[in-house]
Chain A
């Protein structure tokens, strides 16, 4: 690699790419060549920076200048000003609020300031499609250390001492899980190869990476695979050595094309370098990985369903015990962890259990990646130390709620989680505290809601998701979630009855107790927590047939406030059913009979004259 005056790191995560990052990069390279700067400035594509709403993003190294929301048109001026004349362009920098000064340096932006990167250590720094860059930053050193200086038992001890817990949701201690699988006697018929399609080789023990990320609004596993695929591969290699597995699977969503491409590339490069296959790094350890694409069933996040799917069977959970560690893929001892868990492993081996366990709380060690979405100024992917409060995440990192609106709740754990109200914003983010608040850590989705969100509608949405995704094997989940959805739909349509809250509470409790797998055991959580913290909203829907947040269509009416209406006609022009009448410069009126409550008039009015009630 030559010496360059500047390195321009162009973010090429899915968010930035869908906002034209590759075109921006092409123009950038063209402009640099036009000014004959190609020997001084290098343009590199990196994985996701996490600040997805502000893409496309370019970071200028070594100065750490952060440019955001770039378009192709911005580039000629940017190259000329910054790289020819030495004047960084303020207009393209991050600005916290309208009247504040722009913040030039990436590390000074609060969104990045409070983060601590382990699983995402290389994000935005390396080209994920180039294994050399991963190796240059210390990649595969942990594997070398594990293979040449540690016994498998020592690796497991280290992971246990670090206190790493599963990042997929339930938080089971990873080292323990590995130990169970390592100590499990080999079972089943060892001559049986794989399931459908190209059969993987028969092995005595297997490991699996669950990359079937399915929670609405969650995308941390995708981002890790896209920005640093080798971190995952190295983690799996170390795990396979510790457990004694000779084959691994990565079960990844087919809807993640970019992640899939980088993963496939990463596997090929690792094989070329002798990091996968026979006799890895000159030792007698052999291991390879095959990739399996999921067909989009949420229940495959449940490990026994995932194994069923890998075997070519219906993706249905199986009753445990036996646990996968005893009898998993093809009846062989199998260990499953998710992407984020695997990606933590090389760092623990490199830097030691003491370092890792110094981060976080007593029971939850290390960091957690969250996808911060919803009604928050800075949406994106954040990695924070365990024990940080919700308030810090939402208000410091997330920059608070847009448009001066009031915070209402933050939903964690996806459809299995719950809503945490403002009164619990100072709850530390760790496995136990979140459960106490009625939610779960889950895989790390974090959806922020403001006063404009109806909590009954939120509960209805999540239950509609789980009842749609219920596999249908066990009756409480299949039938029960369908009944719960009907009751919630009635409430949001103004057809709720007195006693429906108690009905939902009791039915939710029954479903939680009686369902077969994690999907059903947690499906009522969004309902139960919204009832617990926002009971008054349910009561308003049921007793007063009123939606306080102004969301539930059957319960709201739009009207025009004559005080504010200037008669600009914008609402009338935009109404899709032409139910707004009024002369220019005269107060307009909505015909309630014809109104379909689409909310178009409300969103186009520039004078705050449309009222929702």
Chain B
């Protein structure tokens, strides 16, 4: 039997678990955006970062994404340290700067104590939410859930990610309506920011 400690609470486990799954068993909430329990974890959005260390060297902790990091015997995890919270605030500020209109992002930000108009932002938050150049409005956070669900559930491959870096976006192949799309609506269903809508044919 292996044992993991999350926020001072122990969980004994035998099966393969990620830190996120272990935390869920302890009813410890870790925010996620690019995660869906029915799909392969991705580790892209970075909102679920937690501090993890081994029992042998508890002082040498690293930030790891809870959704992909396997729970290991003797692991000590902290989900609410200042280091974790500051990193998560940075991530949500990046998303807020990218998608200022997104209701879901604003709500998650508020839960983390990030108020776009607030006075308690650090120098990075001030820049990201007040000074940073505005881009074309989008609510897509590029979590890739729609792409993955289409590949892994109906296996239609009707969506993919195009280009790299800041130019990246979600599009059907060749930017045409995908012939393989069966209109199942999975992509719209999993989208955490409700960016995809289904039109009645």
Contact between A472 and B46, CB atoms less than 8 A apart:
no
Residues of B within 8 Å of A474, CB to CB, are: 43-46
Shortest Cβ gap from A347 to chain B (Å) = 35
B63 lies within 8 A of chain A by Cβ: yes
Q: Point out the residue from A467, A506, A507 that lies within 8 Å of B166, measured CB to CB.
A: A467
> Within the complex, what minimum Cβ distance (angstroms) separates B66 from chain A?
11
User: Does A81 lie at the interface of the complex (its beta carbon under 8 Å from any beta carbon of B)?
Assistant: no
B46 contacts A502, C-beta separation under 8 Å: no
CA distance A483 to B129 in the complex (A): 11
- Cβ B163 vs Cβ A472 within 8 A: yes
Partner of A321, one of B70, B97, B122, B167: B70
Between B46, B83, B165, the greatest number of chain A beta carbons within 10 A of the residue's beta carbon is seen for: B165
A471 an interface residue at 8 Å Cβ cutoff? yes
Interface flags for B111-126 (1: CB within 8 Å of A; 0: not) read 0000000000011100
The answer for the CA separation of A471 and B168 in the assembled complex, in Å, is 8
B166 close to A470 (CB less than 8 A): yes
Is A586 positioned at the interface, with any CB of B under 8 Å from its CB?
A: no
| Complex CA–CA separation, A470 to B94 (angstroms) | 16
What are the residues of chain A within 8 A of B70 when measuring CB–CB?
321
A476 at the interface (CB under 8 A from B): yes
Output the nearest chain A residue to B65 by Cβ-Cβ distance.
A319
Assess A470 versus B43: contact at CB under 8 Å? Given A503-B127, A506-B123: no
A422–B197 CA distance with the chains assembled, in angstroms: 58
Measured CB to CB, the nearest residue on chain B to A511 is B90
**Contact yes or no, A482 B141, CB < 8 A:** no
CA–CA, A480 and B90, complex, Å: 9
Q: Assess whether A339 is interfacial by the CB under 8 Å rule.
A: no
Q: Which of B42, B69, B90, B168 contacts A478 (CB 8 A)?
A: B168
Question: Any chain A CB within 8 A of the CB of B110?
Answer: no
For the complex, is A276 an interface residue (Cβ under 8 Å from B)? Answer: no
A471 contacts B164, CB within 8 Å?
Answer: yes
Contacts of A487 in B (CB 8 A): 127
The digit string for B74-105, where 1 denotes a CB below 8 A from any CB of A, is 00000000010011001100110110000000
A503 and B124 contacting across the interface, CB-CB below 8 Å: yes
CA distance A474 to B95 in the complex (A): 11
Which residue of chain A has the shortest Cβ distance to B41 in the bound complex?
A319
Cβ contact within 8 Å between B45 and A514: no
The answer to whether A472 touches B168, judged by C-beta atoms less than 8 angstroms apart, is yes
**Interface: B8 (CB within 8 A):** no
Q: Is B177 an interface residue (CB 8 A)?
A: no
Residues of A within 8 A of B123 (CB): 499, 502-503, 506
CB distance from A271 to the nearest CB of B (A): 37
Interface size of A as a range: 20 to 34
- 8 Å CB contact of B45 from A469, A475, A507, A513: A475
Chain B residues with CB below 8 A from A472, complex form: 142, 161, 163-168
| Consensus secondary structure, chain A interface | helix
B77 to chain A, nearest CB (A): 15
A475 in contact with B141 (CB, 8 Å): yes
The contact of A482 among B45, B90, B165, by CB within 8 Å, is: B165
Task: Give Cα A507–Cα B127 distance, bound, in whole angstroms.
Answer: 10
**Is there an interface contact between B127 and A319, defined as CB atoms closer than 8 Å?**
no
Pair B44/A475 contact, Cβ less than 8 Å: yes
- Residue from the list A297, A319, A502, A513 in contact with B164, Cβ < 8 A: A297
CB distance from A282 to the nearest CB of B (A): 44
Query: In chain A between 364 and 396, which residues have their CB closer than 8 angstroms to a CB of chain B?
Result: none
Distance of A507 Cα from B132 Cα, bound (Å): 13
Residue contact B124 to A507, C-beta cutoff 8 Å: yes
A109 close to chain B: CB less than 8 A: no
What 0/1 readout, one digit per residue, does chain B (25-67) give for beta carbons within 8 Å of chain A?
0000000000000000111111001000000000000010100
Taken residue by residue from 546 to 588, chain A's Cβ proximity to chain B (1 for < 8 Å, 0 otherwise) reads as 0000000000000000000000000000000000000000000
Residue B128 is within 8 A (CB to CB) of chain A in the complex: yes
Given contacts A472-B166, A474-B45, A510-B124, 7 further A-B contacts (CB under 8 A): A319-B68, A319-B69, A473-B42, A478-B168, A479-B166, A482-B165, A510-B90
Q: Which residues of A contact B (CB under 8 A)?
A: 297, 299, 314, 318-319, 321, 467-476, 478-483, 486-487, 499, 502-503, 506-507, 510, 513-516
B residues with a Cβ closer than 8 A to A are 41-46, 49, 63, 65, 68-70, 83, 86-87, 90-91, 94-95, 97-98, 122-124, 127-128, 132-133, 141-142, 144, 161, 163-168
A-B contact pairs, 10 of them (CB 8 A): A467-B166, A469-B164, A472-B161, A475-B141, A479-B95, A483-B94, A486-B133, A487-B127, A503-B127, A513-B63
